[in-house]
């Protein structure tokens, strides 16, 4: 198998979470770095949980991230269909072939029996392994019973050690007997994950399977299936888990964990991709702020770590803020449009002034409050700076009304006349103009507010002083 072919195969049962997005990204980087093909396959055999809405959201999230694919439900190729729900006949044919060759058998065990066996294994503190009671049923008898009795189809797991050569973890050997005969088709005829996945990866000629380490035990079953179905064996790379900062498995209690949530919060897609790429991989140097093009060029599966990766929200904020600061106000106006409370000619200038103060576009509404008609009410700390500054603020307003001069120059001049300098000069002025003790450059702020509004706010703030 000389051609590089990888796949991202999500189940449409919810939003695309960070772990899935990292898997999608690493597959994309691997393919693009080596000039291979990237396949999107929708694994929608879970009838109860799979929805068209979830599939649409998954695709929207991938497109927003910029992770395009060469083959998929919306761009068919010669290896389709690309939804598992549209491949049922393929799975049935493969299952019947295994049954005919004695590599699978019909299982008539009731759910109650299987549950009891699992509970027994739990009490005895051993892995639940199917006891094989249906493995010896004569095939002709099994066929007769199948006409009237509900049953599953089980794979005869070969009794031998199976070794997987993993590009991240090296050789991993599973001893014989670790896994018992497992189900291929459920009672309703639907394929289980491991069977459908092995069939699809083999027939779609997937050369490399990059996925989370939680799938490592699945690879044991799938390798056995590849061999039984005479399908080419891909190379594997099992990626480390992503943990929260408390080193527990990343979950909703750590905050936003879905791509959609980060998009809605106003993080640029490029920044999120940059942060995801550094979860379990490094470029071989000390770079942390990288474009997708730079990451793609540097990506090497040999630099993917075995150790668990910790998602650092502060690092994402730093990367995102850095990315935003590199853009002009005009660029930001278009990118931040869903998060902007207003439009107008001065908006690009406002964004230029504020970009040093935000790490995502969702911060903009609060930061822009001081540039709108209604001044935010100063908090107690801010009001303290206005005490005793009433005469100074009134003098500054009078000077601004009567003279055409640079605001900061005028501020220093009036401050000198009032005996004010440093914080005693700048803090009351900032609070008067913005209602806050922190903010962008005062000169730029005054320019964007406009002469009339600055005078109005200075005089209004006088009453607090």
Active-site option among 252, 421, 423, 460 = 252
The residues near 443 (Cβ < 8 Å, ≥ 6 apart) are 406, 407, 408
Task: Taking the CA atoms of 346, 347, 352 and 353 in sequence, report the sign of the dihedral they define.
Answer: positive
Question: Which of 453, 343, 444 has the alpha carbon at shortest distance from 401?
Answer: 453
Task: Quote the Cα angle for 26-82-166, to 5°.
Answer: 35
Angle at which helix 407-418 crosses helix 423-434, to 10 degrees, equals 130
Which residue's structure tokens are 């009794």?
A: 159
Question: Which of 270, 83, 86, 239 has the alpha carbon at shortest distance from 168?
Answer: 239
Is 58 exposed, middle or buried (CB count within 10 Å of its CB: 0-12, 13-18, 19+)? buried
Q: Dihedral (C-alpha) 395, 396, 400, 402: value to the nearest 10 degrees?
A: 10
Token reading at 421: 């300098």
Question: Which of 197, 155, 183, 186 has the alpha carbon at shortest distance from 47?
Answer: 186
Pairing of strands 170-174, 162-166: antiparallel
Q: What is the DSSP string of 305-352?
A: -SSPEE--HHHHHHHHHHHHHTS-HHHHHHHTGGG-S---TTHHHHHH
What single DSSP character describes residue 249? B
Q: Dihedral (C-alpha) 287, 292, 295, 299: value to the nearest 10 degrees?
A: 160
Give the number of other CB atoms < 10 A from CB of residue 371.
Answer: 24
In whole angstroms, give the CA distance from residue 11 to residue 55: 8
CA distances 214 to 157, 218, 238, 303, Å, are 21, 8, 8, 20
355 is catalytic: no
Give the number of other CB atoms < 10 A from CB of residue 28.
Answer: 24
The catalytic residue positions are: 252
């Amino acid at each position: 198998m000389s051609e590089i072919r990888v796949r991202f195969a999500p189940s449409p049962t919810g939003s695309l979470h960070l772990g899935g997005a990292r898997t999608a990204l690493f597959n994309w980087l691997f393919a693009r770095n080596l000039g291979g093909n990237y396949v999107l396959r929708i694994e929608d055999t879970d009838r109860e949980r799979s929805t068209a809405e979830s599939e649409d959201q998954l695709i929207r999230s991938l497109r927003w991230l910029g992770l395009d694919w060469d083959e998929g439900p919306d761009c068919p190729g010669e290896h389709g269909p690309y939804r598992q729900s549209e491949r049922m006949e393929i799975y049935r044919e493969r299952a019947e072939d295994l049954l005919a060759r004695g590599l699978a058998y019909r299982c008539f065990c009731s759910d109650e029996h299987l549950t009891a066996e699992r509970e027994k294994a739990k009490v005895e503190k051993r892995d639940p392994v199917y006891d094989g009671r249906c493995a010896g049923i004569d095939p002709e008898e099994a066929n007769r019973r199948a006409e009237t009795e509900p049953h599953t189809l089980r794979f005869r797991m070969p009794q031998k050690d199976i070794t997987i050569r993993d590009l991240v973890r090296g050789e991993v050997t599973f001893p014989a007997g670790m896994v018992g005969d497992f189900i291929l088709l459920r009672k309703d005829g639907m394929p289980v994950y491991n069977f459908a996945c092995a069939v699809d990866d083999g027939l779609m000629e997937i050369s490399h399977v990059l996925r989370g380490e939680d799938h490592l035990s699945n690879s044991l079953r799938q390798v056995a299936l590849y061999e039984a179905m005479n399908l080419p064996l891909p190379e594997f790379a099992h990626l480390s888990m992503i943990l929260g900062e408390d080193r527990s498995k990343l979950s909703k209690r750590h905050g936003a964990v879905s791509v959609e949530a980060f998009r809605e919060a106003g993080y640029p897609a490029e920044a999120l991709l940059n942060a995801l790429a550094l979860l379990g991989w490094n470029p071989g140097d000390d770079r942390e702020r990288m474009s997708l093009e730079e990451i793609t060029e540097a990506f090497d599966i040999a630099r993917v770590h075995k150790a668990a990766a910790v998602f650092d929200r502060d690092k994402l904020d730093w990367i995102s803020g850095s990315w935003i600061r590199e853009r002009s106000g005009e660029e930001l106006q278009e990118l931040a449009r869903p998060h902007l409370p207003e439009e107008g000619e001065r908006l690009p200038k406002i964004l230029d002034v504020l970009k040093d103060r935000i790490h995502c576009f969702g911060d903009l509404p609060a930061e822009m409050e001081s540039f709108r008609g209604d001044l935010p009410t100063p908090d107690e700390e801010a009001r303290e700076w206005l005490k005793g500054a009433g005469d100074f603020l009134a003098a500054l307003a009078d000077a601004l009304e009567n003279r055409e001069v640079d605001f900061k120059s005028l501020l220093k001049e009036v401050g000198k006349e009032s005996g004010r300098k440093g914080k005693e000069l700048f803090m009351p002025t900032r609070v008067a103009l913005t209602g806050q003790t922190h903010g962008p450059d005062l000169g730029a702020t005054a320019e964007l507010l406009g002469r009339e509004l600055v005078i109005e706010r200075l005089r209004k703030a006088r009453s607090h002083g």
